[in-house]
Structure 1
Amino acid sequence: MTASDTVPGRPSGAAPAARGAGARAWAVTGLLVVFMMINFADKSVLGLAADEVRADLGLTATEFGLANSAFFLLFSVAAIVVGLVADRISPKALLLVMALLWSVAQVPVALGGGLAVLIASRIVLGAAEGPAFPVAQQATLAWFPNERRNLPGALVTIGITLGVIVSAPTLSWIIQNHDWRTALWVLSGVGLLWALAWYLVGADGKYSADRSAGTAESGGAAAPTGQKDIAAADAARVPYRRIYASRTWIGATLAYFVTYWVVALMLVWLPSFLRNGLGYSAETAGLVVILPWAVGAAVLLAQAFLSGLLMRAGLSSRVARGHVGGWTITIGAAACLAVPFVDGTTAQTILVAIGFGFGGAFATIAVTTIAELAPASRRGGALGTMNALVTTAGLAAPAVVGMMVDSQGSDGYFNAVLLSGGLLLVGAVASFALIDPARDAARLRR
């Protein structure tokens, strides 16, 4: 953070605290990046071990897909409930409880058991991880004013990518040289270590809902006390239904939904696609699977830079967020739709990396858009409900693709990529046509 991030009008005695908040803000952000890395390592482990799990438990592709879909059974419900609670309870406490639950949920499957134990464990894990992204984003954004949120929001989102990039080769090695249950023990231990670090270092930000009426909502400029009270009262009167009915919330949620469909496919079926559809060995697939995630990380950073640049240049957030996000999804859609029509493993791999990398990189746009749209006292609920609806894509995608693979063989993988491309086109249209957070935020406050 820079001097511009401090809040003008504070008493001189508060200046050191304001200056010190910069280092603490980035320390918390760094921990939350690691939090999301562990979150997505937990999600990706079964996809990396798909063939081994299916062979060990005797599962068809449809059964394996349903087991992975079970992860999202309570994922969305938990995201809504905890998202609403996050407006009233310390995000630090919520994040600590979630991390502890992740670690415990891995243990039953690591100890042994069949399909029933696997499904039950994934349901519990999904319930614990469902609220992770919106609460992590809320906790991060609470340390920064609106105009400074693009980068920290993107970094937390990139934690998703880094989680796969770091865990894919590491977990693949563990799976191939030990077994897939050992990988679960490793993830459980890492989760406990993060919980300890968060307990010692984590904290709630100064732009949290109870103080943001005169800070975050005004981009960092403090309002007089009377204006703060009026702003807080006005924000509290905005019902959630008005937020959910806005074109921006609908557009961001729809666009994010189709990109999460792509993310779910990358987590569950991409390693199998690389091995059984494109012919890579298990070891090579464990490395190649990183490519779409790496592309996605680069896109997220570019998005954050470009969106921030456009907003500082005076362009509206409709352009800086809605149009930038729309073009990102459009590129992903075009690449996915081209995959079945090119020859050669290398060309198809490159298109998959571009299609899934661009197509899955909308989370930061969605979150910062809703953070701008919703009053601070409603932000946790707005983000949690959006995340809950979006992640139902994870409930559907693994099961649908599993049925496609069972009925169509290796062609099912390619048809799944085509289906993803078509869905991405719908999301791109929604982003271009509906997202305008400044317009809709003004309407909410009337």
Structure 2
Amino acid sequence: MTDTDVAPAVPAGPPEAPSGKRRRAWTVTALLLVFMMINFADKSVMGLAAEEIRQDLGLSASAFGLASSAFFLLFSISGAAVGLLADRVRPKWLILAMAVLWSVSQAPMAVGGGLAVLVISRVLLGAAEGPAFPVAQQATLSWFPNHRRNLPGALITLGITLGVLVAAPVLTWVIEHHGWRSAVTAVALAGAVWALLWISLGGEGPYAAAPDGSHDVSDARAGAGSRTVSAQRGIPYRRILATRTWIGATAAYFGTYWVIAFALVWLPSYLQDALGYTSSGSTRVLMLVWGLGGVAVIGQACLTGWLLRRGTASRWARGGVGGVLLLMAAAACLALPLASAGILTALLLIAGFGLAGAMSSIAVTTVTELAPADRRGGALGSMNAVVTTAGLIAPTLIGHLVDTYGAEGYHYAVLITGAVLLLSGTAALALIDPDRDARRLSA
């Protein structure tokens, strides 16, 4: 490994960066927001083209669910492995490699082939996309001190919402007029173009770990009173992963990812087959779901930042806000199957699926606050590996329920989702406390 393969040395200095650094920080943040948009546009193709793919390839709901879950077969493993690697290799090059692989892995599916090609392409795409969110967050947050991380972290999470909001109408039109394989081609080309921009504009910031595992001491000073362990080095990963905060953030984020997997793969079919929406009507509801998700992500970032600046402990500013949002989403999902069809059903669906998304940003900033800079990639990657198993389980389970019970299977799936969110919200409120666990790690 050469000197160019590892994270650059971190300059010491005051927490406030000069204007040039601030512009670069927001340029990188904007690029990585688009990176996450493309990431979730890739994921959304299967859900948006579900009926067309099933008809074209002659798939049952269970077979389609298995093909969708294949995306997550290596997703979690690669997320953990690359997360650990990101503590040793510059995230810039890891992110570039991911973007290139996204486009390459989708080429066979865009050209032709049947179920086997579909499954293999999705497995490879999942392996390439598994580390995307934690590594993108690591690269983004390396440009900001702890007390300024809520907004940039939320913007990267917002890329999830914007990716689907942009992809839903555009890819639906492409699918209807040119076929689902053309939609795959479009997102593959978008990834290739983004990679070219990242080569010249991407990079890590002054709050990344140094090659020797030390940290920028300004990161510790900039914590605005929080008891992070960022001035320490060499804390074993097992100690971080054993903290109640890491466990609580991971359990809470699991519920969010369960909802994301449901929404990406099965929500369009649920709206059309169980609730009677047309294709265009379901697209509008999907946009409202993801739109509320975006509002929740930005809203929680503003609220959390305000609470932290007022001296509120992260236990409440992050764990409390995230836990309450998850419990609200759980209540909406549990009530949804019992509501009569109409506007109330739509409102409950939008609330249940939209409010849960904010926890992904909260979980990342919480673990970033807790973990030393030289352990953040591994801590975030390990969390992502556990969380994204929801993407492996949920599509397959829902497909089985639909094949077994027909349209009624969707209602059972929503009730299960509500139960998962209830447990996740409870975990956030009961376990997350970065200040307490930072003290224990420092002991």
Tell me the distance in 2 between the aligned counterparts of 1:367 and 1:418.
Answer: 27
The Cα of 1:318 is off from its aligned counterpart by 0.3
- In the TM superposition, 1:348-367 aligns within 5 A as 348-367=345-364
Mapped to 1, the partners of 2:264 and 2:221 lie a distance apart of 38
Partner of 2:113: 113
- For 2:335, the equivalent position in structure 1 comes to 338
Q: 1:269 aligns with which of 252, 266, 281?
A: 266
Q: Is the 8 A contact 2:257 2:391 kept in 1?
A: yes
**C-alpha distance 31-161 of structure 1, shift in aligned 2 (>3 A):** same
Q: Which amino acid aligns with 1:196?
A: L
Aligned residue number for residue 178 of structure 2: 178
Correspondence 1:133-144 to 2 at 5 A: 133-144=133-144
- Assess if the C-alpha contact under 8 Å between 1:235 and 1:445 holds in 2: no
User: What is the distance in 1 between the residues matched to 2:367 and 2:309?
Assistant: 19
**Alignment partner, residue 254 of structure 1:** 251
Residue type at the aligned position of 1:274: L
Match status 1:37 vs 2:37: yes
Task: Verify the 8 A CA contact 1:7 1:18 in the aligned structure 2.
Answer: no
Residue 235 of structure 1 aligns with which residue?
Answer: 233
SS in 2 for 1:164: helix
Matches of residues 57-76 of structure 1 in structure 2 within 5 Å?
57-76=57-76
CA offsets 1:220-271 (integer angstroms, 9 cap, x no match): 79xxxxxxxx976x421x1111111100001010111111101100000000
Q: 1:215 aligns with which of 214, 218, 242?
A: 218
Asked whether 1:318 is paired with 2:321, we answer no
Contact (CA 8 Å) 1:29, 1:152: kept in 2 or not?
yes
Find the counterpart in structure 1 of residue 410 from structure 2: 413
Q: Is 1:386 aligned with 2:383?
A: yes
Pick from 303, 306, 309: which aligns with 1:306? 303
Write out aligned runs for 1:41-60 (5 A): 41-60=41-60
Selected match of 2:420 from 397, 417, 423: 423
Secondary structure, in 3 states, of the residue corresponding to 1:207?
coil
Q: 1:231 & 1:371 partners in 2: Cα distance?
A: 9
Question: Take 1:283 and 1:324, find their aligned partners in 2: how far apart are those partners?
Answer: 34
Task: Please say if residues 219 and 230 of structure 2, whose CA atoms lie closer than 8 Å, have aligned partners that are also in contact.
Answer: no
User: Are residues 1:400 and 2:397 paired?
Assistant: yes
Higher mean alpha-carbon deviation, 210-219 vs 337-346, is at 210-219
The CA distance in 1 between the partners of 2:243 and 2:100, in whole Å, is 36
Counterpart-to-counterpart distance in 2, 1:360 and 1:214: 32
- Counterpart residue number, 2:162: 162
**Hey, what's the Cα distance between the residues in 2 that align with 1:444 and 1:61?**
47
8 Å contact kept, 1:332–1:356:
yes
Cα distance in 2 between the residues matched to 1:372 and 1:295: 26
Distance 2:56 2:180 in 1: 10
Query: Distance in 1 between the 2:358 and 2:398 partners?
Result: 21
The equivalent of 1:226 in structure 2 is none
Structure 2: segments with no counterpart, 5+ residues: 1-10
| Residue deviations 1:54-102 (CA, integer Å, cap 9, x gap) | 0000000000000010000000000011000000111111100000000
1:215 Cα offset (Å): 1.9
**Which shifted more, 42-51 or 275-284?**
275-284
CA distance in 1, matches of 2:215, 2:168: 39
Indicate conservation of the 8 Å contact 2:230/2:371, yes or no: no
Distance 1:30 1:124 in 2: 26
Q: Which residue of 1 aligns with 2:80?
A: 80
Report what 1:24 is aligned to: 24
RMSD after superposition: 1.6
Three-state SS of the structure 2 residue aligned to 1:360 is helix
Instruction: State the alpha-carbon separation in 2 of the partners of residues 220 and 204 from structure 1.
Output: 19
The runs of at least 4 consecutive aligned structure 1 residues that moved more than 2 Å come to: 6-10
Corresponding residue number in structure 1 for 2:147 = 147
Offset, 1:157: 0.2
Equivalent of 1:290 in 273, 287, 290: 287
**Amino acid aligned to 2:209:** A
Task: Look up the equivalent residue of 1:218 and give its one-letter code.
Answer: R
Contact 1:372 1:438 in 2 (8 A): no
Alignment partners' CA distance in 2, 1:437 and 1:325: 14
1:126 aligns with 2:131: no
Matches within 5 A, 1:1-12: none
1:93 & 1:265 partners in 2: Cα distance? 31
Cα separation, 2, equivalents of 1:56 and 1:387: 33
Please tell me whether the aligned partners of residues 214 and 220 of structure 1 are also in contact (alpha carbons under 8 angstroms). Answer: no
Deviation string 1:181-226 (CA, Å, 9 cap, x unpaired) is 00011111110110011111111111101163402233279xxxxx
Q: What is the distance in 2 between the residues matched to 1:122 and 1:231?
A: 37
Segment drifting more, 343-352 vs 115-124: 343-352
State the distance in 1 between where 2:375 and 2:248 align.
Answer: 18
TM-score (norm 1): 0.93
Contact 1:240 1:382 (8 Å CA) reproduced = yes
In 1, Cα distance between equivalents of 2:196 and 2:54: 34
CA displacement, residues 369-392 of structure 1 (integer Å, 9 cap, x when unaligned)? 000111111010000000000000
Name the SS of the counterpart of 1:215 in structure 2: helix
Aligned sequence identity (%): 57
AA at the equivalent of 1:111: V
Q: Structure 1, unaligned stretches of length 5 or more?
A: 1-5, 222-229
Aligned to 1:224: none
